[in-house]
Amino acid sequence: MTVAEEADKYGLHRVGARPTLASYLRQTWERREFIYELAKARVQKQNQQNRLGMIWVVLKPTLNAIMYGVIFGVLQGNRAVEDFPVFVVIGVFLFEFFTSSMNGGAKSITGNQALVQSLSFPRLSLPVAQITQNLLTLMPMVVVMFIYSIILGTTPKWAWFGIIPLIAIFTVFNMGVALICARITVHVRDFTQILPLVTRMLFYTSGVLFSVDRILNHWPWLVRVFDFHPLYQTLQLARGMIMDNAEYEPMAWLIVSVWAVAALAFGLIFFWKAEERYGRAN
């Protein structure tokens, strides 16, 4: 009888062996309190390290919105959309959530090596905690985003509550992206050096600062491509619900939902497949 057969006979399992996906998800759910407390503690620690504390959560995207808004407002001239300041605020604030999720997710395993190598728990807990942390940070940002919209002349309306399901879908999408980046970084540490370039490219190609219909109207096929761009469609939905003179295609809800489910499903399986490797020393 082989060692493996002998172990199976007495119900023994290899240390660090990857559980089934169902068991993996169940173990992660059982640690939901740990995940939330870890995320909350990191938010508090992050704010305590800065003199302005929680103010930086909204100050950073505010400064970015002002800087990019002025620069691209001048560059676009009369091609800029109506209510351009609100347009930029919505784009920058929501894209900040995506950026922090992708970058934070990429470092969720490699940045917690001591924890990963010393304790036994589903490593999925770490990227989930990172997204939870980002979601906690997003909440005051959304409130300030609405305040800025009112200050800039936007009329409050019931449609604003549509931002709640949109953020839920966006969170699912960001979770999938974070899981994919987390595993890639474990295998290729240099990936964190490439991420700033990736995020910058996505920032300038996701319609954060410009209207695709106005800027790319000479390339109809390229405009059509943006109809299936998850980040662009997310921003379009948010702007359509918040801004006074903006509209969105109802089909955008289906597009972002499909992207979210697909990203999470692929990211979850992709991350789970390498579970046994996350605790190994480099």
Is 82 contained in some domain?
yes
Please state the separation of Cα 265 from the chain's center in Å. Answer: 15
Is 11 contained in some domain?
no
Is 13 contained in some domain?
no
What's the predicted TM-score (pTM) here? 0.88
Tell me what pLDDT residue 257 has. 97
Is 132 contained in some domain?
yes
User: Can you list the pairs that 237-242 forms with residues at least 24 positions away whose Cβ atoms lie under 8 Å?
Assistant: 237/162, 237/166, 238/90, 238/94, 238/163, 238/166, 239/86, 239/87, 239/90, 239/91, 241/159, 241/160, 241/162, 241/163, 241/166, 242/86, 242/90, 242/146, 242/149, 242/154, 242/159, 242/160, 242/163
Average pLDDT, the chain: 84
Supply the range of the domain harboring residue 109: 21-277
Is 241 contained in some domain?
yes
Is 12 contained in some domain?
no
- Check whether 194 has a pLDDT greater than 80: yes
Tell me what pLDDT residue 10 has. 43
**pLDDT tier, 42 (very low <50, low <70, confident <90, very high otherwise):** confident
Tell me what pLDDT residue 160 has. 92
Tell me what pLDDT residue 78 has. 66
Count: domains in the chain = 1
Nearest CA among 30, 260, 263, 46 for reference residue 133: 46
